[in-house]
Structure 1
Amino acid sequence: MALYEPIESTDSRRHLLLRSPVTLEPCGEMVCANEDDVAAAIATARQVQPAWAATPIRERARIAERALQLVLERQDQIIDTVVAETGKTRTDAMSMEIFSVADSLCYYAKHAEDFLKPRKRRVHGIIGIAKQLRILYKPLGVIGLITPWNGPFVLVMNQAVQAVLAGNAVIAKGSEVTPFSARLAQTILEDAGLPPGVLQVLLGDGDTGAAIVRGGVDKVSFTGSVATGRKVAEACASQLIPCTLELGGNDAMIVCADADLDRAADGAWLGSCMNTGHYCCGTERIYVVSEVYDEFLRLVLDKGRHLSQGQQHGWTEDVGAVFWDRQMAIIEAHVEDARSKGAVIHTGGRRNPDLPGLYYEPTVITGVDNSMDIMVHETFGPILCIERVADEDEALRLANDSEFGLNGNVWTRDKDKGYRLAAAIDTGSCSVNDMALSYGIPAAPFGGRKNSGIGQVNGKKGMRGYCHEMPIVIDRFGGKMANGYPNSVKSAEGMRKLMDFMWRKTPLGRWLS
């Protein structure tokens, strides 16, 4: 049974019936914004953006500070909305959708002014005697933001705040699976004082997203599948506008012989099952050095025996529902493919028979290899796939044998070795002795390698990515231009002598650089 399905309507817009992933019962209806709605929203954004860009950054930051307080005051409402639409655990909702958003709001409110203030840069060489260089960060204008269903509030809020603090207006669309969680971002920021029209969160499906991408925005920030990301990139390229794409992952975990195995086993469960495994940086492949493999597997199986599922557990629920029926189909297909090719299912490997909704049991699989879909494609579910390797070199080779490169993690008591291994993984970011944390650290630029995306978000780089970095060159002294017309043999000889003096006869050129 689909979690959303078309229903008849009397107008030109698409209407969808939404179902709960926990009970599969109807839980609401959504009206999708059409092309006219998108065009009207972009027109409104164009109208209000200049005044917003002229608002001092300090005043913009105060809105983010007030939004932080509203998130804390309304956290139960936000959690209830997110849990109702996704079926994730309340603890996952609190950590991902409340704590992460609060931390992000605090960080950008504090640092936006410093990140975006005009800067003087020294001009190198002899030109620097006569010229000054200043760098201005000018907002791009109107940003199109398209986010998925796995972090429906945080992913809108985090990117939208960076873009609006940089002086842009934003047209955002969350997933049709989780529309009302995404809409909360607009409500909270407007209640905090953001002028109407600066952030507009539209409800809609893929057609709505396509209308935004092709609607005349100045940049698109997209998080989602590789296939859709390619279409977004092609559409942006045809319009000569920039885009950032955060796409799929198939992240590797390397467990070295000297790892703290108890901690690593905890990290394997959390990295694989947090948010029901619906985490772009979730651990999907675990490579364990042979000499500690048996003990690691024993610890993993022991720790997995008492994991709870079902909302009857309240705050003590460990692994929630699968958020989307289409993702459930992928999880089941990957597990069955592995089973048919000889993998061993130690625990789980099926839907939870005791619960009515889209619950998949936390699963541990061994005997896996790259002939299996579950090791080469993104499964995005609560699955631990553990492979025995001879040594760290083999683990590193297998970790890099992937079309993806979003994140990864390395476990060892030797931090220098952990750093070296992490640096050798061809991935966007990596953690040592913890699950993937980089997205949750606002100062860390976040993005993927290979099929995991293009560009980076977050931190100073991410916020500046919503700006044009404009250099302005100012003459210090005025007067006659040294290189003005007419050209002459004398001026050419003078230039030749100057270059000879700076870079052949003296170290002056190197000293001034």
Structure 2
Amino acid sequence: MSLYEPLESSDSRRHLQLRSPVTLQPIGELICANKEDVAEAIAKARQAQPAWAATSMKERAAIVERALEILLQRQDEVIDTVVKETGKARTDAMSMEVFSVADQLCYYAKNAGKFLAPRKRKAHGLLGLMKQVRIVYKPLGVVGLITPWNGPFVLVMNQACQAVLAGNTVVAKGSEVTPFSAKLAEDIFCEAGLPEGVLQVLLGDGETGAAIVSGGVDKVSFTGSVATGKKVAVAAAEQLIPCTLELGGNDAMIVCADADLDRAADGAWVGSCMNTGHYCCGTERIYVVKEIYDEFLGLILEKGKGLRQGPQHGWDEDVGAVFWDRQMAIIEAHVGDARAKGANILMGGRRNPDLEGLYYEPTVITEVENSMDIMILETFGPILCIQKVESEEEALRLANDSEFGLNGNVWTEDKTKGYELARAIDTGACSVNDMAVSYGIPAAPFGGKKNSGLGQVNGKKGLRGYCHEMPIVIDRFGGKMQNGYPYSAKSAEGMKKLMDFLWLKTPIGKWLS
């Protein structure tokens, strides 16, 4: 049974019946914005943008601070809506969709003015004596924001917050699987005082998202699959607009012989199963050196016994439902492929037979190798794939043997070694002695390499990515232009002598640079 099914409608819009992944019962009807609705929203955003860009950063930051207060007041509503649509554990909903958002709102409200303030940049060489350079950050205009179902509230709030603080207006669309969680972002910002048209969250499906991407926006920020991300990149290239793409991952975990194994085992479970394994920088491949492999595996199996699953546990639930039936099919296919190719299923490996919804048991698989889909592709489920390796060098080689590169983690009590191993992993970010936490640190730029994406979001760089970085060059002294017309052999000869003086006969040119 699909979690959304087409319904007959009497208008030009697509209607979908939504179902809960927990109970498989209907939870609402989604009416998808069509191409005309998207065009109207973009036109509204375009009209609102100049006035919004003219507001002071102080005014914008005050709205974001108010949104933080409203979020905390409405946090139960946010958690209930997210859990209703996704089936994720309530603690995951609180940590990812409330705490993380609150932290980010606070950070950007405090720091956006500093990051986007006009700044001086010294011109080099002789130009530095004659010219002043100022860098100003000008909003791009209208930003199209497409977000997925695994972080339906946080991913809209975080990117929209950055874009509007930079002076842009935003037309966003969440997933058709979790539309009402995404819509809460618009509700909260509007309640906080954001002017009409500055942030619009449309309800819709893939066709709605495609209409936004091709509808005349000035930048697209997309989070989702590799296949769709490539289509977004093509559409952006055809329009000569920038885009950032945060796509899939198949992140590696390296456990060294000197690791704190108890903590590493905890990190493996949380890193693989948090949010039911549905987060792009979740741990998907675990490489353990042979000296401590048996002890580590024993700890994994012991700690996995007590994991609780199902809504009857309330706040005590550890691993929630699979959010989408299509993802359940992928998980089952990857586990089936691994089993057929000789992997050992030591725990789980099946749907939870005691629960009626889309629950997949926390799973431990060993004897895995890179011929298996589960080690090559993104599984996005609550699964630990553990492979014994001869050395840290082999672990590093296998970690880098992937078409993805979003995140990773290294476990060792030697922090210098951990740092060097982390640097050597060909990935967008890495953690030492923790699961992947870089997205939760707003100061850290976040983005992938290889098939994991293009560009970076978050932090100073991410915020400035919603702007055009415009240099303004100001003449210091005035007077006659040094290289004005008419040209002459005499002036050319003078230029040659100047170059000789600066870079051959004296060190002055290098000193001025």
> Normalised by the shorter chain, which TM-score bucket?
over 0.9
Which residue pairs with 2:324 in the alignment?
A: 324
1 CA distance for matches of 2:393 and 2:133? 48
Q: CA deviation at 1:386?
A: 0.1
Which residue pairs with 1:411 in the alignment?
A: 411
2 CA distance for matches of 1:510 and 1:263? 52
Which residue pairs with 1:297 in the alignment?
A: 297
Which residue pairs with 1:34 in the alignment?
A: 34
Q: CA deviation at 1:493?
A: 0.8
Q: CA deviation at 1:159?
A: 0.2
The reply on whether 1:77 has 2:58 as its aligned counterpart is no
1:154-206, Cα deviation, whole Å (9 max, x unpaired): 00000000000000000000000000000000000110010011000000000
Q: CA deviation at 1:40?
A: 0.2
TM-score, normalised to structure 2, is 1.00
Q: CA deviation at 1:505?
A: 1.1
2 CA distance for matches of 1:511 and 1:73? 58
Which residue pairs with 1:462 in the alignment?
A: 462
RMSD: 0.4
SS in 2 for 1:281: coil
Which residue pairs with 1:191 in the alignment?
A: 191
Q: CA deviation at 1:436?
A: 0.1
2 CA distance for matches of 1:127 and 1:235? 40
Which residue pairs with 1:340 in the alignment?
A: 340
1 CA distance for matches of 2:279 and 2:112? 27
Residue type of the alignment partner of 1:362: P
Which residue pairs with 2:227 in the alignment?
A: 227
The reply on whether 1:354 has 2:354 as its aligned counterpart is yes
2 CA distance for matches of 1:461 and 1:59? 22
1 CA distance for matches of 2:347 and 2:387? 16
SS in 2 for 1:422: helix
Which residue pairs with 1:46 in the alignment?
A: 46
Which residue pairs with 2:500 in the alignment?
A: 500
2 CA distance for matches of 1:499 and 1:119? 30
1 CA distance for matches of 2:116 and 2:56? 11
2 CA distance for matches of 1:174 and 1:346? 37
Which residue pairs with 2:17 in the alignment?
A: 17
2 CA distance for matches of 1:390 and 1:56? 58
- Fraction of identical pairs, as percent: 81
1 CA distance for matches of 2:116 and 2:51? 17
SS in 2 for 1:193: coil
Residue type of the alignment partner of 2:512: L
2 CA distance for matches of 1:191 and 1:37? 23
Residue type of the alignment partner of 1:248: G
Matches within 5 A, 1:230-309: 230-309=230-309
Residue type of the alignment partner of 2:434: D
1:314-344, Cα deviation, whole Å (9 max, x unpaired): 1000000000000000000000100011100
Deviating above 2 A after TM superposition, structure 1's stretches of 4 or more consecutive aligned residues are none
User: Structure 2: which 5+ residue stretches go unaligned?
Assistant: none
Q: CA deviation at 1:289?
A: 0.2
SS in 2 for 1:495: helix
2 CA distance for matches of 1:314 and 1:24? 18
1 CA distance for matches of 2:287 and 2:395? 6
Q: CA deviation at 1:506?
A: 1.0
Which residue pairs with 1:453 in the alignment?
A: 453
How many residues align? The count is 513
Which residue pairs with 2:123 in the alignment?
A: 123
User: Structure 1: which 5+ residue stretches go unaligned?
Assistant: none
SS in 2 for 1:321: coil
Which residue pairs with 2:476 in the alignment?
A: 476
TM-score, normalised to structure 1, is 1.00
2 CA distance for matches of 1:340 and 1:126? 70
SS in 1 for 2:364: strand
Q: CA deviation at 1:402?
A: 0.1
Which residue pairs with 2:5 in the alignment?
A: 5
SS in 2 for 1:354: coil
Q: CA deviation at 1:58?
A: 1.0
1 CA distance for matches of 2:182 and 2:364? 33
1 CA distance for matches of 2:196 and 2:112? 21
Q: CA deviation at 1:96?
A: 0.1
1:114-151, Cα deviation, whole Å (9 max, x unpaired): 01111111111001111000001000000000000000
Residue type of the alignment partner of 1:25: Q
